[in-house]
Amino acid sequence: MRFKAALLLIILIPGLALAQGPEQEIRAKTKKFTDAIVSKDLSVLDDVFEKDTADIYYDINEGPLVGFDRLKRVWTAAVTNYTISKFEFGDDMKVWINGEEATQVGTWTQTQVSKGGQSKDIRGRATILWRKRNGQWKVWHYHASITPTRMPRQQQGTVPSEAFVVPAASGVPSGGVLLPRYATPA
């Protein structure tokens, strides 16, 4: 009897170790997606995203992108106009599972190299909504944005030269100074 139980465990344990829960499946698909984008393999889009024409995505360059075909055109342009030499999610990525739906949030980094050879590092944040259909987790919505650059600590609270002043009576809460987009108020 013990021999049969031990044999059964030897057979089952490798299968259990390979089994993935929903969070691990989503993390694996996310890694597969970022690796494929770096290698310019857009076939990954078919595996990761739903093909519903009503799905809406907000990308860093434009949005809303309505439908899978529009999403595919934007990613095609991205890997055609640039070499994306690095694309990965940060260690802060979180995934919450709620039955057949999941929410993923976290930061990402990407290095884009233009055709002229200029390299640009981009840091951003993303919220990604997944749902499981026909046994597969697929993205049906995401919103990605670039993380604003913060001014160095010693400069925070100073007014950048590109800021402009509006009368304090205008109701602007900064006391009359309207800061440009992405500036860090004091």
97 belongs to a structural domain? yes
pTM (predicted TM-score): 0.70
Six-digit token string for 63: 């949005």
| Residue 3 near residue 10 (C-beta atoms within 8 A) | no
Q: Determine, yes or no, domain membership for 69.
A: yes
Assigned domain for 128 exists: yes
Split into its structural domains, the chain has a count of 1
Bridge partners of residue 130, in order along the sequence: 102, 139
Residue-level pLDDT at 62: 79
Q: Does a structural domain hold residue 88?
A: yes
pLDDT means over runs of 10, the chain (186 residues): 51 49 96 95 94 91 88 91 93 96 96 92 95 95 89 62 49 46 43
Residue 28 belongs to what domain range?
18-148
Residue 154 resides in a domain: no
In this predicted structure, what is the pLDDT of residue 89? 95
What's the pLDDT at 157?
Answer: 60
- Reading the block at residue 169, the tokens are 């009576």
- Residue 3 covered by a domain: no
Task: Please tell me the distance from the alpha carbon of residue 144 to that of residue 142, in angstroms, as a whole number.
Answer: 6
Residue 76 maps to which CATH number? 3.10.450.50
Listed residue (92, 88, 116) closest to 104, CA to CA: 92
Name residue 109's beta-bridge partners: 88, 123
Query: CB 74: neighbour CB atoms within 10 A?
Result: 15
**What would the two tokens of residue 31 be?**
């890694």
Q: Is residue 46 part of a domain?
A: yes
**36 belongs to a structural domain:** yes
